[in-house]
Amino acid sequence: MRLLFSYGFMYPQRDQIHRVARKFNESFEITWKALTEKWPTEERKRNKIFKRGRMNNKAVHQKF
């Protein structure tokens, strides 16, 4: 995405393409930051569920 926006920055600053690229870039950076902050939390949740599932599978296999 950043590469795509950099192409828009090649236009003169007064050009509409440059202004739109700057706005999209700012929006993207805000959203990207929020996502990267959320990922560790989601990964911990996923790992917790995955571990729980593996523990249940071990218990089932031990019964048989």
CA 2 to chain centre: 14
What residue ranges do the domains of the chain occupy? Answer: 2-63
pLDDT tops 60 at residue 63: no
Give how far Cα 22 sits from Cα of 12, 32, 55, Å: 12, 15, 49
Instruction: Give the pLDDT confidence of 4-59 residue by residue, as tens digits.
Output: 999 999 999 999 999 999 999 999 999 999 988 888 887 877 777 767 666 665 55
Work out the angle at residue 35's Cα, subtended by the Cα atoms of residues 13 and 28, and round it to the nearest 5 degrees.
15
pLDDT for the residue 57: 56
pLDDT for the residue 56: 60
pLDDT for the residue 38: 84
Q: Which amino acid is at 10?
A: M
pLDDT tops 80 at residue 60: no
